[in-house]
Amino acid sequence: MRILLVEDESRVAGFIAKGLREQSYAVDIARDGEQALYHAAVNEYDLVILDVMLPIKDGHSVCRELRASGFRTPILMLTARDAVDDRVAGLDSGADDYLTKPFDFKELLARLRALLRRSASIRPRVARMADLTLDTASHAVTRAGKSLSLTAKEYALLEFLVLNEGRVVGREQIAQHVWDESFDPFSNVIDVYVKRLRDKLDTGYGTRLIHTRRGEGYIMTPQPGAGDE
Q: In this predicted model, what pLDDT tens digit does every residue of 97-141 receive, in sequence order?
A: 888 888 899 999 988 988 887 664 556 678 888 889 998 778 889
- For 27, list phi and psi in degrees, rounded to 5: -130, 125
Confidence of residue 226 (pLDDT cuts 50, 70, 90): low
pLDDT of residue 98: 86
Average pLDDT over residues 189-197: 89
Confidence of residue 48 (pLDDT cuts 50, 70, 90): very high
pLDDT of residue 105: 93
Q: Residue 19: which CATH number?
A: 3.40.50.2300
Task: Examine the domain organization and report whether 22 and 95 are in the same domain.
Answer: yes
75 against 82, higher pLDDT: 75
**Exposed, middle or buried by CB within 10 Å (0-12, 13-18, 19+), for 71?**
middle
> Cα separations (Å) of 41 from 9, 28, 38, 124, 171?
23, 13, 5, 28, 20
pLDDT in tens, 13-45: 999 999 999 888 989 999 999 999 999 998 889
Average pLDDT over residues 42-52: 91
Statement: residue 151 has pLDDT above 60:
yes
Residue 94, number of CB atoms within 10 A of its CB: 19
**Domain membership flag for residue 103:** yes
Domain span including residue 24 = 2-118
Residue 181, number of CB atoms within 10 A of its CB: 14
Task: Examine the domain organization and report whether 101 and 139 are in the same domain.
Answer: no
Task: Examine the domain organization and report whether 185 and 105 are in the same domain.
Answer: no
Task: Examine the domain organization and report whether 59 and 131 are in the same domain.
Answer: no
**Domain membership flag for residue 102:** yes
Task: Examine the domain organization and report whether 131 and 105 are in the same domain.
Answer: no
Domains contained in the chain, number: 2
Q: Of 60, 86, 118, at which residue does a domain stop?
A: 118
> Cα separations (Å) of 77 from 42, 48, 50, 106, 127?
21, 8, 5, 16, 28
Task: Examine the domain organization and report whether 99 and 143 are in the same domain.
Answer: no
Helix, strand and coil in the chain, % to nearest 5: 40, 20, 40
Task: Examine the domain organization and report whether 187 and 210 are in the same domain.
Answer: yes
Q: Residue 159: which CATH number?
A: 1.10.10.10
Residue type at 76?
A: L
